[in-house]
A and B are shown apart, each in its own frame.
Chain A
Amino acid sequence: MTAAVAVIGEGRPRQARGVVLDRAFEWLCFGAASLLLTALAGVVISLTIGGWPALAKFGPAFFFSAEWDPVAEVYGAAGAVTGTLVTSALALLFALPLALGVAIFLVELCPARLRRTIGTAVELLAGIPSIVYGMWGLFVFAPWFVKHIQLPIMMSVEPGSIWERLTAGVPNGAGILTASLILAIMILPFMAATLRELLLTVPSQVRESAYGLGSTTFEVVGKVSLPYIRTGAVGAVMLGLGRALGETMAVTFIIGNAHGLPTSIFASGSTIASTIANEFAEASGVLHTGSLMALGLVLFIITFIVLALARLLIGKQVHG
């Protein structure tokens, strides 16, 4: 083999080496990409296997029961699932208008000189680790919130009305509403950054035509820019929702960590992620560990659906 190659020419062996390495390199890259796919499949499989003892024992009741009692070994996911959905929905409710405001400010209103600085500041807010949000929420935000918002509200509601039930709770600042507010602060910068990117894709001719017809900024944004980006904007919102659903540390600090269905906006509660974070390391017994794994599987399914929709919608917008 070597002799034959040597007859043909000097360049040939190097050429062959290049081709072999080409294949090897491509396979290496392919392997790395497939590893990511395997990882996601592994997450699903390991959660399913780990959660199987609990799912097999409790059956469908696992999803509908809100009882979570490690002593009696009875576990149900409904309390944590409700806590997760309620806090995320409230966080989205607070954060979405603000995120839109910030994005529109950065694109339409901000003086050019400040644009980069403020944009970076918003991104820094997104970069702060969630455990810092948790500490800040528990030690700084919650006491302030109790003093200036929670107590005045609890004092002013009419006794016996539905509002009293909705606002009942211990005024210590830890609860569903404070957790939602901290979550809102956390997802605000993510959504603002994505919405800003989307707003920048609106062709300037379209916007300028609208301005040229005498529209105000409000009308340009509301009737031209937002309709133009609406598909992607829904995706951005879902992306923010996905973050809120899976957020762990900040919520664990401040939600109060009580099992069962939340009874009012100031009551303590729990989310799937906070329950796992609190109990997994100390979980004893196959059933407890299995129930936590099954909770994880539920969280995975919820976030997977939300994130998949988000990606599809954003992808549609960006690629036309």
Chain B
Amino acid sequence: MSASGSQRLSRRVGNVAFLSFCWAATALALTALAAILWSLISQGVGGLELAVFTESTPAPGSQGGLLNAILGSIMMCGLAMAAATFVGVLAGTWLSEYARDSAYGKVVRFINDVLLSAPSILVGLFIYGILVAPMKGFSGYAGAAALALIAAPVITRTTEDVLRLQPVSLREASVALGAPVWKTIWAVIWRSAQAGMLTGALLAFARISGETAPLLFTALNNQFLSLDLGGPTANLPVVIFQFALSAYDDWRRLAWTGALLIAAAVLGVTVLARILAREPARS
């Protein structure tokens, strides 16, 4: 065992330490996931009664549920997704089919990437500035607009990525049959890319359904059941925020139940999107 022997030893020790660190890091990340899921289940399942889905948010100390918040969230997310899908799919198509290498296309792509990870609270401030302040009132429409502005870049990005993967021969075949470009995109490219585009939409939905910050001063909150998006609209994230930080035990319990519902919905949609995308296993 000379110099080369001790060198070999130190290399092996270094390697083992490094490998152990990688294992430990992964274990730590998985532990965090397990701990969060466990808290949600242990604190949230107890409050999961029928009343949660049939009654509106209560005054402190009385019986109630989350019906108004759930309905408000569904309405705003639905509206936001409709708008965001329309804009996002068209914008993604433009980036992939019409402006792949143009300078303006590059600018839009870059701006979209910035929007993709811009702080969502700034989107809330923007929508407040252009919708809430001029209309002199918080509204569900403003909330939906804020959510749409968060979802649209996600859909734009995934649409562009998926469309780029479609083979050129597919486009050529369609054009050779005499189809105009819009028909080629509409009936051939979109159809062949629909699974990927659906995945993108699902991921965008998962992203906005838990968003709280942009709703704080757009949709605000509403203690009562209301199907009118023209006024302040209850929604799960803001209700969770207010109830969790309140001093009342029954409100806090409802907050945990709401958090469980939201996390279950988001994670369920994410898993569904993964299954749909089913990326080929890498070896």
Contact B156 A105 (CB under 8 A): no
Q: How far is the CA of A101 from the CA of B22 in the complex (A)?
A: 4
Contact A131 B283 (CB under 8 A): no
Residues on the A chain within 8 Å of B120, using CB: 246, 248
With contacts A29-B90, A136-B36, A217-B18 known, is A253 near B262, CB below 8 A? Answer: no
Q: How far is the CA of A192 from the CA of B30 in the complex (A)?
A: 12
Q: How far is the CA of A246 from the CA of B150 in the complex (A)?
A: 14
Contact A42 B181 (CB under 8 A): no
Q: Which of B165-173, B192-200, B223-231, B265-273 lies on the face that meets chain A?
A: B265-273
Residues on the A chain within 8 Å of B237, using CB: 129, 131, 249
With contacts A118-B26, A216-B11 known, is A43 near B91, CB below 8 A? Answer: no
Residues on the B chain within 8 Å of A273, using CB: 119, 121, 213
Partner of B125, one of A125, A134, A276: A276
> Does more than half of chain A's interface fall in helix, strand or loop, or is it mixed?
helix
With contacts A29-B94, A135-B256, A242-B117 known, is A102 near B213, CB below 8 A? Answer: no
Residues on the A chain within 8 Å of B99, using CB: 30, 33
Considering the complex, which residues of chain A in the window 53-110 have a beta carbon less than 8 Å from any beta carbon of chain B?
A: 97-102, 104-106, 108-110
Residues on the A chain within 8 Å of B87, using CB: 32, 35-36
Contact A101 B115 (CB under 8 A): no
Chain A, residue nearest B40 (CB): A132
Contact B210 A293 (CB under 8 A): no
Partner of B119, one of A24, A42, A140, A303: A303
Q: Is A175 an interface residue (CB 8 A)?
A: no
Q: Is B112 an interface residue (CB 8 A)?
A: yes
Partner of A249, one of B36, B86, B213: B213
Q: Is A232 an interface residue (CB 8 A)?
A: no
> Using a Cβ–Cβ cut-off of 8 Å, how many residues does chain A contribute to the interface with B?
95
Residues on the A chain within 8 Å of B259, using CB: 131-132, 135
Contact A33 B36 (CB under 8 A): no
Contact B115 A140 (CB under 8 A): no
Residues on the B chain within 8 Å of A116, using CB: 281
With contacts A18-B183, A128-B36 known, is A102 near B26, CB below 8 A? Answer: yes
> Does more than half of chain B's interface fall in helix, strand or loop, or is it mixed?
helix
Residues on the A chain within 8 Å of B79, using CB: none
Q: How far is the CA of A245 from the CA of B121 in the complex (A)?
A: 11
Contact B181 A123 (CB under 8 A): no
Q: Is B35 an interface residue (CB 8 A)?
A: yes
Contact A281 B123 (CB under 8 A): no
Considering the complex, which residues of chain B in the window 234-283 have a beta carbon less than 8 Å from any beta carbon of chain A?
A: 237, 240-241, 244-245, 255-256, 259, 262-263, 266-267, 270-271, 274, 281-283
Residues on the B chain within 8 Å of A217, using CB: 15, 18-19
Residues on the B chain within 8 Å of A256, using CB: none
Contact A33 B108 (CB under 8 A): yes
Chain A, residue nearest B186 (CB): A25
Residues on the A chain within 8 Å of B63, using CB: none
Contact A129 B212 (CB under 8 A): yes
Contact A25 B182 (CB under 8 A): yes
With contacts A21-B182, A280-B216, A311-B113 known, is A118 near B156, CB below 8 A? Answer: no
Partner of A185, one of B15, B32, B108, B283: B32
Chain B, residue nearest A51 (CB): B125
With contacts A28-B90, A135-B244, A218-B15 known, is A43 near B118, CB below 8 A? Answer: yes
What 6 A-B pairs have minimum CB-CB distances, sorted nearest first?
Answer: A129-B210, A246-B119, A101-B25, A29-B94, A18-B180, A32-B90
Interface residues, chain B, with chain A CB atoms under 8 Å away: 11-12, 14-15, 18-19, 21-26, 28-30, 32-33, 35-36, 39-40, 43, 86-91, 93-95, 97-99, 105, 107-108, 110-115, 117-123, 125-126, 128-130, 149, 152-153, 156, 179-183, 185-186, 206, 209-213, 216-217, 220, 237, 240-241, 244-245, 255-256, 259, 262-263, 266-267, 270-271, 274, 281-283
